[in-house]
Amino acid sequence: MSFFEKLKKSLQGVRKKWSGGLSGIFSGGAIDEGFWERLEEVLISGDVGVTLSLRLIDELKKEARARGAKTPEELFSFFADILAARLSAVPLMGQAVTPDKSTLTIVILVGVNGSGKTTTAGKLASQWTKEGLRVVFAAADTFRAAAIDQLKVWGERSGVRVIAQQQGSDAAAVAFDALSAAKSNRANVLLVDTAGRLHSKHNLMEELGKIYRVLEKERGDAPLETLLVLDAVMGQNGLAQAQTFDKIMPLSGVVLSKYDNTAKGGILLAIAEELKMPVRYVGLGEGEDDLRPFDVHEFITALLEGEKDVGRA
């Protein structure tokens, strides 16, 4: 299934719950006060956020005047263009991490408990091993034994070596070991799974900072990617998390997980606009193939398309 088909399928759920979907707003009626109020309501209830919703509406109003739009239908493509322009303005938006065989790429996954870090590590490893890349896992979530086991299951599935120590051991030491192993094995990717630190627990965040500093110091020329895994279901609450994690280590992007599970779709716009952070990947399920690089244009088409078009290929 292509990203588009997959996304459309999962967006059917989002759309139904998201006040009948954005598409309904643009079909029929007139461009009157009621139209703008309905649009505002749908955007805000869809986790776009108040400030951004009002900004988008202002922009669309200007566009409507400038182009002399008479019906909501005419506004539809203007709105799609506005969303696309804003999303595309963020550097690295939708760009997959592209390790290559000539070097080692380090990828650290961070995020709160249950956000989907380990699953994302597993999905990425599955994709990359299929491309013939050599992947090593660092089990730097040393908090719970179950976390190490969970990573090992993914490791077995893809034939990926897991560098782990005992539960409770120093996470930065695991990361250090794993980097050495990755280097001596001439691996192409080191995927570092970390513990789900509550962003309010400062000492735990410090530990995460230590992992970053160790890898940053020892990496040599190896490119380093730091991805924040955000649970789409968290909505606007996720934005505060992102800022806290970004202070611990400069983030190179967001993996928006569980997009198939959210009742609201607008958080994606809020991440781009409020955080100015690129959404690199979107998680659309629990399976190994359910992680896709984020595609701006396919996303907007799928989001704005009416229910009537859902079956179209």
Q: For the CB of residue 113, give the shortest distance to Mg ion in the complex, in Å.
A: 8
Would you say 25 or 190 has its CB closer to ligand GDP?
190
Region 178-197 residues binding ligand GDP, contact defined as CB under 6 A: 196
Q: Given candidates 105, 119, 127, 241, which one binds ligand GDP under the rule CB under 6 A?
A: 119
Listing DSSP states for 229-270 in one string gives EEEGGGTTHHHHHHHHHHHHS---EEEEE-TTT-S--THHHH
* Cα–Cα distance measured from residue 184 to residue 133, given in angstroms and rounded to the nearest whole number: 15
Would you say 42 or 136 has its CB closer to ligand GDP?
136
Q: What share of the chain is helix, strand, coil (3-state, %, to 5)?
A: 50, 15, 35
Residue 286 lies near ligand GDP (rule: CB under 6 A): yes
Residue 116 lies near ligand GDP (rule: CB under 6 A): yes
Region 219-258 residues binding ligand GDP, contact defined as CB under 6 A: 229, 257-258
Residue 257 lies near Mg ion (rule: CB under 5 A): no
Residue 118 lies near Mg ion (rule: CB under 5 A): yes
Taking the alpha carbons at both ends of the chain, their separation in whole angstroms is 11
Q: Given candidates 19, 53, 105, 118, which one binds ligand GDP under the rule CB under 6 A?
A: 118
State the helix-helix crossing angle for 33-45 and 50-67, rounded to 10 degrees.
Answer: 140
Q: Which residue has the tokens 């719970």?
A: 144
CA dihedral angle for residue 54, residue 305, residue 276, residue 227, rounded to 10 degrees: 140
Q: Given candidates 15, 117, 280, 292, which one binds ligand GDP under the rule CB under 6 A?
A: 117
CA 294 from centre of chain: 8
Checking phi first, is residue 108 left (phi over 0); if not, alpha (psi -120 to 50) or beta?
beta
Region 139-178 residues binding Mg ion, contact defined as CB under 5 A: 147
Would you say 69 or 233 has its CB closer to ligand GDP?
233
SS3 of residue 210 by DSSP:
helix
* Cα–Cα distance measured from residue 120 to residue 132, given in angstroms and rounded to the nearest whole number: 18
Residue of closest CB approach to ligand GDP: 283
Q: For the CB of residue 304, give the shortest distance to ligand GDP in the complex, in Å.
A: 22
Q: Given candidates 113, 167, 236, 301, which one binds ligand GDP under the rule CB under 6 A?
A: 113
Residue 119 lies near Mg ion (rule: CB under 5 A): no
Contacts of 146 (CB under 8 A, 6+ apart): none
Residue 6 lies near ligand GDP (rule: CB under 6 A): no
Kindly list the residues in this chain that would bind ligand GDP in the complex (CB under 6 A).
Answer: 111, 113-119, 196, 229, 257-258, 260-261, 283-286, 290
Kindly list the residues in this chain that would bind Mg ion in the complex (CB under 5 A).
Answer: 117-118, 147
